[in-house]
A and B are shown apart, each in its own frame.
Chain A
Amino acid sequence: NAGVTQTPKFQVLKTGQSMTLQCAQDMNHNSMYWYRQDPGMGLRLIYYSASEGTTDKGEVPNGYNVSRLNKREFSLRLESAAPSQTSVYFCASSAGQTYGETQYFGPGTRLLVL
């Protein structure tokens, strides 16, 4: 049981380049999330998908887009990368969208934008 998987593990981009971070879960979860983690700032929610076919903005959505491709997959796209987007990105999923649900996290993608 793989849980939540993310690709790639590491990526270096130049300013202005685009890329898509992939996330998949095999737990039949309804809700999926994208966070970024920066030193001293904890985790901040970028976008979430409460259920297949829906997506909504979190705290820090600017510069990002998402796609809930199907129930398993939730991708995050950087259309024009900026150095401020250098971060560690985590995908997570939960069974439902009700409060109190445990979130299950992937191993993260470390992104460096030069």
Chain B
Amino acid sequence: AQSVTQPDIHITVSEGASLELRCNYSYGATPYLFWYVQSPGQGLQLLLKYFSGDTLVQGIKGFEAEFKRSQSSFNLRKPSVHWSDAAEYFCAVGAPRGYQKVTFGTGTKLQVIP
């Protein structure tokens, strides 16, 4: 069965600083990888996803993520964080088995300070 680990529970960055959120997955083959964002009191929204091809994926709101097979990682990055990016971020892995089984990580809460 697949699994996903987000080692950072909480991260604080200054507005304008760069951001990297870590995600490691476990799966026997190349999985489908997702990053979702959850603003306070809201549901989850897809930021980006990776299936195959170019390992650097661009998403909405200026986010990007890089798939590194050798490290089983799919880290999310943003070059300059805005106060509105404060939210909780979830990495997820999808396995190609029958129905769409997606396993979510435990989330990383991002705080942005002025």
Residue of B nearest to A51 (CB): B99
A21 within 8 A of B: no
The interface residues of chain B lying within 8 Å CB-to-CB of A45 are: 101-102
A107 touches B90 (CB 8 A): no
The interface residues of chain A lying within 8 Å CB-to-CB of B90 are: 42-43
Chain B: residues with Cβ within 8 Å of the partner, total of 26
Residues A24-42 near B (CB distance < 8 A): 31, 40-42
For chains A and B in complex, what number of residue pairs have CB atoms within 8 angstroms?
64
Q: How far is the CA of A98 from the CA of B101 in the complex (A)?
A: 9
Chain A: residues with Cβ within 8 Å of the partner, total of 27
A99 touches B97 (CB 8 A): yes
B74 within 8 A of A: no
The interface residues of chain B lying within 8 Å CB-to-CB of A101 are: 100
B53 within 8 A of A: no
